[in-house]
A and B are shown apart, each in its own frame.
Chain A
Amino acid sequence: MAENLALEIRNVTKRFPGVIANDNVSFNLRKGEIHALLGENGAGKSTLMNVVYGLYAPDEGEFLVNGKKVEINGPHDAINYGIGMVHQHFMLVPVFSVTENMILGSEVTKGTSLDLKRARKEILEISEAYGLEVDPDAIVEDIPVGVQQRVEILKALYRKANILVLDEPTAVLTPQEAEDLFRVMRHLTEKGVSIIFITHKLKEILNVADRVTVMRRGKVVGHTTPAETDQQGLATMMVGRDVLLEVEKAPAQPKDVVLSVENLTIKDERNVSVVKDISFDVRAGEILGIAGVQGNGQTELAEAITGLRGIDAGEITLSGERIPFEKPRWLVEHGMGHVPEDRHKHGLVLPYDLADNMVLCTYYQKPFAGAFMVRNRDAIQKNADGLMERFDVRAPSTAVAASTLSGGNQQKVIVGREFSRPLKVLVANQPTRGLDVGSIEYIHKEIVKMRDEGVGVIVVSAELDEILSLADRIAVMFRGKIVTVIDAKDATREKLGLWMAGSNPDEE
């Protein structure tokens, strides 16, 4: 069987100070297969792949490429052995063209100057051979994320990779773009490329993988195939206990309208309307889900409601009071909670410790500050201790920087901070993006709890499953408009998918 293996990893151990990231891990990749590597955040998947790619030196272990033992001492070696890696965060120069990005680091030259013409031709050939369409002359910052990812994959193929490592490739993609990617992946394997697919999304694995290896706490805990298992089975293997994939919730008990959006129009920096004349209400005690493909105005809408962005027409009222725009503090003081879309950019100050992050919006209020702007350390500490306990934040102490926490724990810090204030309205924008199953389960439960306590909740999400399992009513956005608001009971994936794509399922 050995001759069928494109890559074999034997007994790799990688230690970081105080933690074993990979503990005697073995893994193999057959030629032309998609082998999923599944595990929660911190399970050691990316570490293993960084070891394979030569970014980390392993403490123990060996590698075989095509049955031959090899030494990988850096990405350069990895590339020579035909290993290509597409990172979660793209390594592209935004202002360069696709061609320029592609040849970066292995430039084709004619004399002393770049031979862009030849490079362009080669790229077109490769993109045709593998069925990956790109415009070689497009500037990277102008093309959609899904296409940028295609450029990353082409970049690896251009360097003659036949083993591709895709690190959480769908984290940044819309459902449609993800489908495209899966098509491309299958196509690549037909052409003889072998793919390691790192993910923690169960549905994708069932959808696209040939085999699955599950990691937990630095160790391989099992192997399976999509035919032998289902989502629940994978989740249990990954987390090590039974998890609830669906939120358990009682029917909503909606009360008075707490947030009302009327004829809202928002223009972006280029003066293009991104939100067009939108109106809707949110009642206390219900969850309104806002579905839509990323980039159809949801971000701008959420930013306007939460005071991060100005508007061009319309008004928003919070319990009958018109809200002033771009005044997040007014909103904090009037019962608005906000779990922002980008927790690193808006939600946290990463170098701050947890205690400071937990008073980020209320630091100036009593008891956190007294006379003469003096901060009250004891009160801040007490608040942090309470929230750590109540929201199950896993960290050695409240004095560690937020940057050292996993995504799930970072989100729990934000959720703890926002949910512990007296709220009337809560806006949760992509509340579980990039989180592992255990954290998703927890945050969904907390959101439902807020609803049951009488808060009007808006959940914006690109994940249909999240919308379907959380929302009581669902509004679908398409090109800046709300195209429909339907009761969650009547919604199906298919129906929502059609609305999201701009067509009306009831007419067809």
Chain B
Amino acid sequence: MDDQAEKEMSTSSGSWLGRLWRTIAVPLAAVLLAMLIGAILLAISGADPIKAYSALFDGAFGSMKAFGRTLAKATPLIFSGLAVAFAFKAGLFNIGAQGQLLFGALVSAVAGFMIHGLPPFLHATLALLIGASAGALYAAIPGALKAYTGAHEVITTIMLNYVAINITDYFADGPFKDTTGGNIVARTPEILDSARIPTIGNIPLGFVLAVLAAVVVWWLLWHTTLGFEIRTVGLSPHAAKYAGMKVAFTVILTMVISGFLAGAGGAIETQGIVGRYQPGFNAGLGFDGITIALLGKTHPFGIIPAALLIGAMKAGASTMQFDAGVAKEITDVIQALMLFFVTADMIVRKLIHARDDGGEKITLSGWGQQ
């Protein structure tokens, strides 16, 4: 074997397990570091970190009911995480998952209370699909702007988030406002029972749908020609054009699917948890998707545990507040730290001495470029 082939051998990834470890080492370390710093902050503010964390854990996993709450909290997060990760695969940073999710939540609520006379399963499915499609349509706007004018999706999706917040606020306080019983709060009427997505035992059906969605996304990305096109466009738009792929169309379609996922997250939140659209109830779920997508290494199967983790922190925060007397905002701080460490992965790699993929690439390009 010549030295070139030998070199290539040495860089090919080792065992399957070794590869998995290299992938999850940084997110895992980021989570632990964030928890550690969180503990220091708790200690500084005079609380007992161990007590606080055990209360947090109790609130998230302490009983079947608590566990069910964690699953419910994780459900929309899986969807928004998938939405962000899916767009990433085509090289798109969809910061607009929040806006798409709001449209999904509002439109499914409208479909949930305005459509009458459908059998439960059909009504719930229809409302979910209409809600998700609203998210998809809304995401098509930045997709088309990117594809045809080159407008950067980060800018357009951020802007469209504000548009979405204000439009949904307007509808919830205007045309679709709940006027029953002298209500003055901005919210839509309650959806019909036939539009509800039930919780079976302690397991919300929405969570099952979220896991199914992750499987479908995984299959779509890695086992279909469409997924191949999306990933090719993401990795090298020039090569995609050379290969005869329709780059502009793929960009729009990717945004549409991403928006569909975000919209589905909002719809399931409406139909499974809130029971109506009410401004503020979905705040931040789309933005959390960015953290979750990064924490999950933008892989569908990484997103499920990442969403469960953030979901658990949300579910356990109240218990922690009651039992340990700690402001539940500390969970937001920890979550922000996780995002920080996962994006600043150089720091984390230094700390845990993880093999640096990036550094290895630099070495290799110097070595291979002769």
* A associates with B: yes
A-to-B contact residues, CB < 8 Å: 16-21, 39, 41-47, 50, 55-56, 88-89, 168, 198, 217-218, 307-308, 327-332, 338, 340, 345-352, 356, 360-361, 363-364, 369, 372-375, 394-397, 399-400, 403-407, 409
Extra 12 A-B pairs, beta carbons < 8 Å, given A46-B367, A56-B366, A360-B232: A39-B370, A41-B368, A42-B2, A217-B3, A308-B241, A328-B241, A328-B242, A347-B239, A360-B243, A363-B243, A404-B11, A405-B8
Q: Considering only CB atoms, which chain A residue lies closest to B11 in the complex?
A: A404
The 4 lowest CB-CB distance pairs between A and B, nearest first, are: A18-B10, A329-B244, A46-B370, A373-B224
Task: Tell me how far the C-beta of A392 lies from the nearest C-beta in chain B, rounded to whole angstroms.
Answer: 11
A363–B7 CB distance below 8 A = no
**A360 neighbours in B (Cβ, 8 Å):** 232, 239, 242-243
B-to-A contact residues, CB < 8 Å: 2-12, 223-226, 228, 232, 235-236, 238-239, 241-245, 361, 363-364, 366-370
Give the CA-CA distance A446 to B182 in the complex, in Å: 83
Q: Considering only CB atoms, which chain B residue lies closest to A397 in the complex?
A: B12
Task: Tell me how far the C-beta of A23 lies from the nearest C-beta in chain B, rounded to whole angstroms.
Answer: 10
A19–B6 CB distance below 8 A = yes
A396–B9 CB distance below 8 A = yes
Instruction: Give 13 CB contacts A-B under 8 Å.
Output: A18-B9, A42-B3, A42-B370, A44-B3, A88-B369, A346-B241, A347-B242, A349-B232, A360-B232, A394-B4, A396-B12, A403-B361, A403-B364
Quick one: which of B7, B8, B242 contacts A338, CB cutoff 8 A? B242
A399–B228 CB distance below 8 A = no
Q: Considering only CB atoms, which chain B residue lies closest to A18 in the complex?
A: B10
Interface class of chain A by DSSP: loop
Q: Considering only CB atoms, which chain A residue lies closest to B12 in the complex?
A: A400
Interface class of chain B by DSSP: helix
Quick one: which of A19, A47, A338, A394 contacts B370, CB cutoff 8 A? A47
A45–B241 CB distance below 8 A = no
**A369 neighbours in B (Cβ, 8 Å):** 225
Task: Tell me how far the C-beta of B85 lies from the nearest C-beta in chain A, rounded to whole angstroms.
Answer: 17
A19–B7 CB distance below 8 A = yes
Of B238, B243, B245, B363, most A-chain CB atoms within 10 Å: B243
B238–A395 CB distance below 8 A = no
Q: Considering only CB atoms, which chain B residue lies closest to A357 in the complex?
A: B239
Quick one: which of A55, A329, A348 contacts B239, CB cutoff 8 A? A348
A21–B239 CB distance below 8 A = no
A349–B235 CB distance below 8 A = yes
A18–B242 CB distance below 8 A = no
**B361 neighbours in A (Cβ, 8 Å):** 403
Give the CA-CA distance A123 to B185 in the complex, in Å: 72
A218–B3 CB distance below 8 A = yes
A374–B223 CB distance below 8 A = yes
**A363 neighbours in B (Cβ, 8 Å):** 225, 228, 243
B228–A350 CB distance below 8 A = no
Q: Considering only CB atoms, which chain A residue lies closest to B222 in the complex?
A: A375
Task: Tell me how far the C-beta of B354 lies from the nearest C-beta in chain A, rounded to whole angstroms.
Answer: 15
Of A346, A351, A356, A409, most B-chain CB atoms within 10 Å: A346
